[in-house]
Structure 1
Amino acid sequence: MSRLSVIAISEAFKEFWNDLALDLGVAIDVLGPAEALTPSPLPKPETVAVILAAGGAERDAIQWLESHRVPQGLPVLVVGTDPGRRTAMQVVARGASDYFALPADLEIFRNAVAAALTGAGARGAAAAGGPEEAFGGIVGESPALKKDLARAARLLPHRNAHALIVGETGTGKELLARAIHAGGPRRGAPFVAVNCSALPENLIESELFGHERGSFTDAHAAKPGLFEVADTGTLFLDEIGDLPLSLQAKLLRVLEDKEIRRVGGTKSRTVDVRILAATNERLPERMREGSFREDLFFRLSTVVLRLPPLRERGDDLILVAEALLERLAGEHDLPVPALTPEVCHLLRAHPWPGNVRELKNAVERALLLSPVGQLSAEELLLPAAPEAQGEGPIPFPAPLHKITTAAVRATVQLCGGNRSESARRLLISPRRLRRLLNGCGDADADFDAADLVQPTGSS
């Protein structure tokens, strides 16, 4: 029989454990307050989760997490009475899988325990391979990436744990979300991705929540929304910061009540959906501006996963380029070329403001235009390294706007001031290039290349 191991630092919930055991049909081993803070034996082999009961003694729970270890892959669920986000962040930072404030989170906690029971087999498979098994599609060996993947791996057993993934454009936020879904107990159910910034504001409500026939001019038939399509699975909301305020309130209701109502409908529908959200912005700044709800931010950000930009990942750049080459060569039925020292030097010198997405575009273009079996440095169409420019080197990691500025100026210099060619090489529109140049401090879009290297007023 499966077992739960309860470390009862506090007696606040002592009447609860027998009821939980009866409800779930499991055996429970309880260590009382006198034993909880002393070195304890390892959980029995049949144990599928450790529950740290800390009602009113959250600081003692943090101490316990700092001084005790449990077997790898075994979830540690902390239950307390403090609903504050700070407590949740502190226990998760010290190795807990999740935190539940009772009684408010009682149903969520029961679901988490049930998920631990039903997902024990899947968890065992994931633990056997570690994060590398669960996130095999994400290439990299840098400490920054490994740390973030290790944190993400702790989410795998938890069916209902929502998370906020933060990273610059092109860092692989959707790839990470898909890996979390595929490695967890919802993996056989739908994974539905939607970019909140790509949908017109007048359509996004219907797209997410569905609509009834006749609810608006073109609603000739009822249509389920993406929440219904993703039922029992995962809904990935990319660019969550661009979700209109009116829909943020509806999303919060889904998170809290697990119910949606179609546009034009009067009936509420229950949905069982895990939300993974992503942003390349600082949502706290949006909250200060009044364009993002504070309560929604706290609900989504109990677990925050950060994907580092390519420029912070050291030699991962070459590993990612090689992996992309292998995949793209297969797609285009071409031999896989080796990366020459010259190509590696160019790749390392470029700041990659577009991250992996930009790297993929550059590598694929060079693969298609170079002689078969080779990767031409010239066809990468990368500007000279910022160090070669008149403004001197840029320290890394540097703010993204500085890196973008350097890349734009270097490209325009390389193209002799030709705006159309510069925009083509940067993979952006001429209009976007003009806006970037204005942002660089070039008030006049009709510039010459010398002004970009040595702006007016510099010595």
Structure 2
Amino acid sequence: MHLFPDKMESMKQSAALTPQVFDAPIHPLSLRHLVENAIDGIFIIDRNRRLVEFNHACEELTGYSREEVIGKNVFCARAIQCQNASGDSMAGNLCPSLSVFHSGMSRQSERMRAVAKDGSIRWIETHYTPIYTPDGTLDYVLGIIRDITRQVLLEEDHARLGDELDHYRREIESRYDFSKLIGNSKPMLEALELAGEVAATNTTVMITGESGTGKELLARAIHFNSPRKGGPFVAVNCAAFPEQLLESELFGYDRGAFTGADRTKPGRFELAQGGTLFLDEIAEMTPTTQAKILRVIQEREVEHLGGTRPIRIDVRLIAATNRNIEEMVREGLFRQDLFYRINVFPIRLPSLRERKQDVLPLAGHFLERFAMETGKKVPGISREARRLLLNHPWEGNVRELQNVIERAVILSRGELITSAHLFSGLAEGKASFPPTGHDSSGPVQLPEDGLDLEQLEISLLRQALKKARNNKTQAASLLGLTRSTLRYRLQKHGLEEAETNQNG
């Protein structure tokens, strides 16, 4: 054994070594086997500061063999070239083992970098233990080296990702700062003022306004200017899901809840824990889903589909709709009790027609954004194009304006945006898509002797169902209705039961 036999007896009697190790007879070869097979590097330094033990793990870590370092002074043994975290050498009087000889106390070193034979650098952590003779003389120092390179690299990655996350969070918060939202018209300033006042609270907010007015943008601004800005913002478009799928999305489900549920999935309420849940198009919910949402708001807990365990939630709710929800309450299409729960702090976003003075600033903002995205240098918008933008009715509101400017930037070749780059509908003062409900002359002309409106509606409903093969979502789309409105009209005329019986 390389552990110098003349010293073995004194080491066995050393008070610093664990007594039980040497109470039972251990053959030197057995002890050598234990040292050689240790996961961590083990080395021993004698009172002359010379290496007298250097196990296999040390060889693997440093790239040096035992023969190259045994018997050499620890200060000049190439295998133990350590640096502190700043890269400064810790040789000579700075070697941690030296302080153990001076103080006689065990020492856990700071993290160090060890330079291996091939020049590679490993992060290590070393623990030094003094070994005394029976008369109290410090005879050896036992060192244990642990390679923590992977741990340090993971910590560095974690810190880097944390810094990136903080950077992106600050960037997002800056993007949704109320001062960054474009709007100098009186109705828009009033809406932003209300949003700024309610943002600092946990109050439920109801945002109304036509499609394309920026309801989700305002909801995000409220979230990122609230105490919950560090939590998630989760958005759900209630009109995008059929009833059963919407409930599984909102409340989650347990494994086996239905065919295909091969795992437990958290719902949007759970995913929004500690943050904000934005329910867009909330008026499109069916009465059954409305009742379940009401219970969640009242009890502050959800249950998975197929589950029995209530899950407590801490979520701020912001709802939005482009419909006249108060009229829907009067017509029995939306639960009155749920309406009162979500309409705690209403904010109405004006249409772009009501904020004409914001058209050109918004157009300039979109121009700059899309020019940057496409890499084009577009100097601005011509006078004639600005006039067209101001005179356009903007049925699609801000979203339509955004699309118009994006198309114009794509068509431009680095020159001013002109009327030629805009939709032809703008030059005629018309909407860029068919208007809904704003033109008295439509495809159906009223006969001179009048007509039976109820029978006409029944006929159209039946035609739509037949064309859609009784798919209510498609039929509603053909008629320009929501699924819940279609269902209401079918029930009103007794068609839903008739269609069901016909199919059955």
Mark yes or no: TM-score above 0.5.
yes
- Contact 2:392-2:430 within 8 A present in 1 as well: no
- Contact 1:239-1:280 within 8 A present in 2 as well: yes
Distance in 2 separating the partners of 1:383 and 1:343: 13
Who is 1:286 aligned against?
328
Who is 1:345 aligned against?
387
Residues 258-273 of structure 1: matches in 2 within 5 Å? 258-273=300-315
- Contact 1:166-1:307 within 8 A present in 2 as well: yes
Q: Which runs of 4+ in 1 moved over 3 A?
A: 131-134, 384-389, 400-408, 431-436
1:283-320 per-position Cα deviation (integer Å, ceiling 9, x unaligned): 11211222210000011111100110001002100010
Assess, with a 3 A threshold, how the Cα gap between structure 1 residues 166 and 220 changes in structure 2: closer, same or farther.
same
Residues 208-357 of structure 1: matches in 2 within 5 Å? 208-357=250-399
Who is 2:193 aligned against?
150
Assess, with a 3 A threshold, how the Cα gap between structure 1 residues 181 and 353 changes in structure 2: closer, same or farther.
same
Q: Which runs of 5+ in 2 are unaligned?
A: 1-173, 444-474, 481-504
Query: Which of 216, 222, 230 is residue 174 of structure 1 equivalent to?
Result: 216
- Contact 2:393-2:429 within 8 A present in 1 as well: no
Residues 353-368 of structure 1: matches in 2 within 5 Å? 353-368=395-410
Assess, with a 3 A threshold, how the Cα gap between structure 1 residues 435 and 220 changes in structure 2: closer, same or farther.
closer
Letter in 1 for 2:192: L
How far did 1:407 drift? 12
Letter in 1 for 2:196: A
Distance in 2 separating the partners of 1:136 and 1:342: 30
- Contact 2:251-2:266 within 8 A present in 1 as well: yes
Give SS of 2:425's match: coil
- Contact 2:243-2:289 within 8 A present in 1 as well: no
Give the fraction of aligned pairs with identical amino acids, expressed as a percent: 45
* RMSD of aligned residue pairs (Cα, Å): 2.9
Distance in 2 separating the partners of 1:407 and 1:346: 25
Query: Which of 179, 186, 192 is residue 136 of structure 1 equivalent to?
Result: 179
> Structure 2 length normalisation: TM-score?
0.51
- Contact 2:205-2:317 within 8 A present in 1 as well: yes
Give SS of 2:182's match: coil
Q: Which runs of 5+ in 1 are unaligned?
A: 1-130, 390-399, 409-430, 437-459
Distance in 2 separating the partners of 1:234 and 1:361: 28
How far did 1:405 drift? 6.7
How far did 1:337 drift? 2.9
Residues 80-95 of structure 1: matches in 2 within 5 Å? none
1:313-341 per-position Cα deviation (integer Å, ceiling 9, x unaligned): 02100010000111111111111331111
Assess, with a 3 A threshold, how the Cα gap between structure 1 residues 252 and 364 changes in structure 2: closer, same or farther.
same
Give SS of 1:383's match: helix
Assess, with a 3 A threshold, how the Cα gap between structure 1 residues 161 and 350 changes in structure 2: closer, same or farther.
same
Who is 1:56 aligned against?
none
Distance in 2 separating the partners of 1:367 and 1:388: 21
Assess, with a 3 A threshold, how the Cα gap between structure 1 residues 405 and 141 changes in structure 2: closer, same or farther.
farther
Distance in 2 separating the partners of 1:218 and 1:403: 46
Who is 1:185 aligned against?
227
Give SS of 2:257's match: coil
Assess, with a 3 A threshold, how the Cα gap between structure 1 residues 224 and 404 changes in structure 2: closer, same or farther.
farther
Over alpha carbons, which structure has the higher Rg? 2
Distance in 2 separating the partners of 1:308 and 1:407: 26
Distance in 1 separating the partners of 2:213 and 2:187: 13
How far did 1:202 drift? 2.3
How far did 1:385 drift? 6.0
> Structure 1 length normalisation: TM-score?
0.56
How far did 1:434 drift? 9.3
Give SS of 2:270's match: helix
How far did 1:255 drift? 1.2
Distance in 2 separating the partners of 1:220 and 1:203: 15
How far did 1:236 drift? 0.3
How far did 1:384 drift? 5.3
1:385-425 per-position Cα deviation (integer Å, ceiling 9, x unaligned): 67799xxxxxxxxxx845467999xxxxxxxxxxxxxxxxx
Aligned length: 274
Distance in 2 separating the partners of 1:293 and 1:407: 34
